[in-house]
A and B are shown apart, each in its own frame.
Chain A
Amino acid sequence: SQKIEQNSEALNIQEGKTATLTCNYTNYSPAYLQWYRQDPGRGPVFLLLIRENEKEKRKERLKVTFDTTLKQSLFHITASQPADSATYLCALDMGTGGFKTIFGAGTRLFVKA
């Protein structure tokens, strides 16, 4: 079955630097892949969706890439700020013909001022 792997270790970076988070998946490539942000005690918040025929997508300081050969998506936050500190979740469809979306465990990001 499809599995998602996100770095379970927290990522600590200095303010102003670019944060890069990784999402790897096994088996087949999903039709689309999503990234969410989750703050403690809150529900996930949608950030970006990238489809299998798209290599890259941008939104303000965010950039997502999708490499179906490597079975990997990279999520970049440029000019990071302490307010970007949160857990970032990768999500993708199961590819079962429906739209069953599964989530990775998430990577915790800490941006230090």
Chain B
Amino acid sequence: DAGVIQSPRHEVTEMGQEVTLRCKPISGHNSLFWYRQTMMRGLELLIYFNNNVPIDDSGMPEDRFSAKMPNASFSTLKIQPSEPRDSAVYFCASSLGLGSSDGYTFGSGTRLTVV
């Protein structure tokens, strides 16, 4: 398996623009997580899905952020409009299930820069 695949790897956009980050989880994993990492705040959980259903989105910072999982093999995180403070590395992770002994498998992340 190629692991969790995220795209793009890097994104530079202007303030006010819409940004869409994409994630393909490992086949057979039914839980998917979106995290954001900054030097100041570390890794923050934004939202997680189980069997394509959003379970907890309390970590989504504002209404500007939205996430979808239309099927078991694809998820998106959208920021509209983007702001400079959204600059961070965004990670997608998947697992066999909630509380799996195999932990989470993370993608390589998308480094977002909003100027």
B43 touches which one: A46, A48, A103 (CB < 8 A)? A103
Given the complex, which residues of B lie within 8 Å of A36, measured CB to CB?
103
B101 at interface, CB cutoff 8 A = yes
Task: Tell me whether A103 and B103 are in contact (CB under 8 A).
Answer: no
In the complex, residue of chain A having the shortest beta-carbon distance to the beta carbon of B103 = A46
B34 at the interface (CB under 8 A from A): no
**Residue among B31, B42, B43, B108 with max Cβ neighbours from chain A (10 Å):** B43
Answer yes or no: A93 CB below 8 A from chain B CBs: yes
Q: Residue of A at shortest CB range from B3?
A: A43
Q: Which residue of A lies closest to B101 (CB)?
A: A49
Question: Contact: A45 with B106, CB < 8 Å?
Answer: yes
A61 contacts which chain B residues (CB < 8 A)?
none
Q: Is B25 an interface residue (CB 8 A)?
A: no
For the complex, is B45 an interface residue (Cβ under 8 Å from A)?
A: yes
A46: B residues at CB distance < 8 A: 102-105
State whether A43 touches B45 (Cβ < 8 A): no
Tell me which residues from 47 to 63 in chain B have a Cβ below 8 Å from any Cβ of chain A.
48, 50, 55-56, 58-59
List the count of A-B residue pairs having beta carbons below 8 Å apart.
55
List of B residues within 8 angstroms of A105 by Cβ: 42
Known: A32-B99, A43-B91, A89-B43. A98 touches B56 (CB 8 A): yes
A34 vs B95: C-alpha distance in the bound complex, in angstroms?
A: 13
**Neighbouring A residues of B31 by C-beta, 8 Å:** 99
Pair B42/A93 contact, Cβ less than 8 Å: no
Are A99 and B98 touching (Cβ within 8 A)? Answer: yes
Residues on A facing B (Cβ under 8 Å):
31-32, 34, 36, 42-49, 89, 93, 98-106
Chain B positions near chain A (C-beta within 8 angstroms)? 4, 31, 33, 35, 42-43, 45, 48, 50, 55-56, 58-59, 91, 93, 98-99, 101-109
**What are 29 A-B contacts defined by CB distance under 8 Å?**
A31-B99, A32-B99, A34-B103, A36-B103, A43-B4, A43-B91, A43-B93, A43-B107, A43-B109, A44-B43, A44-B91, A44-B106, A45-B106, A46-B102, A46-B104, A47-B103, A48-B103, A49-B101, A49-B103, A89-B43, A93-B99, A98-B56, A99-B31, A99-B50, A100-B45, A100-B56, A101-B45, A101-B104, A105-B42
